[in-house]
Amino acid sequence: MARTVVPFGPQHPVLPEPVQLKLECEDERVVGVLPVIGYVHRGIEKAAELNGFRQNVFLCERVCGICSFMHALCYCQAIEKMMGVEVPPRARFLRVVWAELSRIHSHLLWLGLLADSFGFESLFMQIWRAREIIMDLSEMTSGHRIIQSTCIVGGVRRDIDSEMAKKVETDLYRLKEMMDATILQVILNDPTIKRRTVDKGVLSKEQAYSLGAVGPTLRGSGVALDIRMTGYAAFKEIGFEPVVETAGDSYARTLVRVRETYQSLKLVLTALSMMPKGEIEVRVDGWPKGEAISRTEQPRGELIYYAKGNGTNNLERLKIRTPTFANIPTLLVMLPGCELADVPVITLSIDPCFSCTER
Amino acid sequence: MPWMFPTVIKNLFSRPATRRYPFFDTREPFPDARGRLYFDTSKCDLCQDCARVCPSDAISVDTKGQEIHYDPFKCIYCATCVQTCLQKAISMDNHYMLPAYQKSEETYKVQAARA
């Protein structure tokens, strides 16, 4: 049969991310795929060499518009490791609170986009309505809705007092009620969602592991690997168990994210209740010298920062490996064999963030 | 879609969840939200600390002409300058900056500089 190449993107109504997938098709069936990236390169790694190491925190936050706090956290951890800075316990707990709030916000955003990708508009709007609670909490505690800018080298810049903590708690219970009442019920039971996601884009455990997948893509295939298990920030004190699903299809990855949203709700509440008293920031003197690698778990998976300092205010090199970069190869396994109409849902199921990937 | 029906029907007869922005005002921002920057020119001593720490080069200080140049369109509203200023000459409002037709720079003439 004759083969046709259908371009998907870089501008596509379903995927707001600029990626082009060259889909080789036989009739309606996809037989080959070639991802093309490079549409939004911003030169952030080079800019990080020109900025001072303290100013880089704000630059790194802007690598991603959704998980900005984790980027700042990962960068700060790398610099703190290099300079031998001990972060006060209260700051570590506050970092967990903001990191998990952004995880809830990212997962809800993605769930809404997934519903939107197969035309389930009412679910999309319900989910984004619930997400607005998290946005308000973020503005209340940090000052901005999305780019929190609270993490700095040596701790955090803002404190959450008991009054704010109470408001966070009540609002999170309100969010949980909204999730329980409609969103969870629809995702677990609705036949339209299941028809579009179950058995679509199957990735086996061995394939996921050998292709180097990370985050919910890996955990949806049954591999229990989450960087939060290493106990960075305050995860050691709080305790952490990764969420794992075994089916390996798009539905399993959706369920991982839904369950992680609930888990993050619990983690925020635990972090707030266990929060020790004390300083939130230590003074950092001098300039970074040496090399350091830091890892954090983003909503999309494992994030790696490598930093090299030479004893001046500027870093010699900053390398950022974002999770979507590790997840792109899985598309080459998941897409061949699927229907052309399933391509948006499967592509979305790895939660791609190409602006992050190209930095 | 039976699981969505009760919500859909409830939403049909309830008030909209969004604010009708141009016709009604937006909600008041939280007291600690980071918004517009204001320079108190009577306190400034032209030390240039704000210009040095600014991650986006939005502030520049002209010591000879005794002026502060601030570009609100370059500013990322991180409030590092507010924290850094020893003279407490920079303050931050909780209202965000409104959109404009033209990008413009603000110039502040420093009065009686002590530098």
Looking at the structure of chain A, the number of domains it has is 1
Q: How many CB atoms lie within 10 A of CB B66?
A: 17
**b/e sequence A324-351, b meaning 16+ C-beta within 10 Å:** bbbbbebbebbbeebeeebbbbbbbbbb
What is the band of B36 on the pLDDT scale with cuts at 50, 70, 90?
Answer: confident
- In the predicted model, is pLDDT for residue B114 greater than 60? no
Which of A212, A236, A207 minimizes the C-alpha distance to A225? A212
- Across the range B23-44, mean pLDDT stands at 85
Q: Do A139 and B30 touch (CB under 8 A)?
A: yes
Whichever domain contains B72, its CATH number is 3.30.70.20
Joined tokens for residue A116: 């939107």
What is the C-alpha to C-alpha distance for residues A153 and A284, in angstroms, rounded to an integer? 7
**Cα dihedral sign, A231-A227-A41-A15:** negative
CA distance, residue B27 to nearest chain A CA (Å): 11
Residue of B4, B6, B77 lying closest to A123 (CB–CB): B4
Q: Do A190 and B29 touch (CB under 8 A)?
A: no
Q: Would B76 be classed as within a structural domain?
A: yes
CA distance, residue A191 to nearest chain B CA (Å): 8
Domain that holds residue B89: 34-97+104-115
Domain that holds residue A40: 4-358
**b/e sequence A230-251, b meaning 16+ C-beta within 10 Å:** eebbbbeebebebbbbebbbbb
Q: Which chain B positions have a beta carbon within 8 Å of A51's beta carbon?
A: 55
Joined tokens for residue A127: 């989910």
Q: Do A55 and B55 touch (CB under 8 A)?
A: yes
What is the C-alpha to C-alpha distance for residues B115 and B43, in angstroms, rounded to an integer? 11
Q: Which chain A positions have a beta carbon within 8 Å of B76's beta carbon?
A: 58, 62, 147, 149
Whichever domain contains A16, its CATH number is 1.10.645.10
Model confidence, pTM: 0.89
What is the C-alpha to C-alpha distance for residues B97 and B73, in angstroms, rounded to an integer? 9
pLDDT in tens, chain A (359 residues): 788 888 887 888 777 778 888 988 888 888 889 988 888 888 898 988 888 888 899 999 888 888 889 999 999 999 999 888 889 999 999 999 999 999 999 999 999 988 888 888 888 888 998 999 999 999 999 888 888 888 888 889 888 888 888 999 999 999 998 888 888 888 888 888 888 888 888 888 898 999 989 989 999 898 888 888 888 888 888 888 888 988 888 899 999 999 999 999 999 999 999 888 888 888 888 888 889 999 999 998 899 999 998 888 888 889 999 999 889 899 898 888 888 888 888 888 888 888 888 88
CA distance, residue B107 to nearest chain A CA (Å): 24
Looking at the structure of chain B, the number of domains it has is 1
Q: CB neighbours of A216 closer than 8 A, spacing ≥ 6?
A: A253, A256, A257, A260, A299, A300, A301, A351
Q: Do A59 and B55 touch (CB under 8 A)?
A: yes
pLDDT value at position B1? 57
What is the C-alpha to C-alpha distance for residues A316 and A294, in angstroms, rounded to an integer? 16
Q: Do A190 and B4 touch (CB under 8 A)?
A: yes
**b/e sequence A151-162, b meaning 16+ C-beta within 10 Å:** bbbbbbbbebee
Q: Which chain B positions have a beta carbon within 8 Å of A98's beta carbon?
A: none
pLDDT value at position A256? 92
Q: Which chain B positions have a beta carbon within 8 Å of A65's beta carbon?
A: none
What is the C-alpha to C-alpha distance for residues B68 and B71, in angstroms, rounded to an integer? 10
Residue of B4, B7, B78 lying closest to A58 (CB–CB): B78
Q: Write out pLDDT tens, residues B67-88.
A: 888 998 889 888 889 988 888 8
Nearest CA in chain A to B94: A143
Q: Do A192 and B1 touch (CB under 8 A)?
A: yes
Q: Which chain B positions have a beta carbon within 8 Å of A140's beta carbon?
A: 30, 32
CA distance, residue B112 to nearest chain A CA (Å): 31
Q: Do B17 and A51 touch (CB under 8 A)?
A: no
Q: Do B4 and A149 touch (CB under 8 A)?
A: no
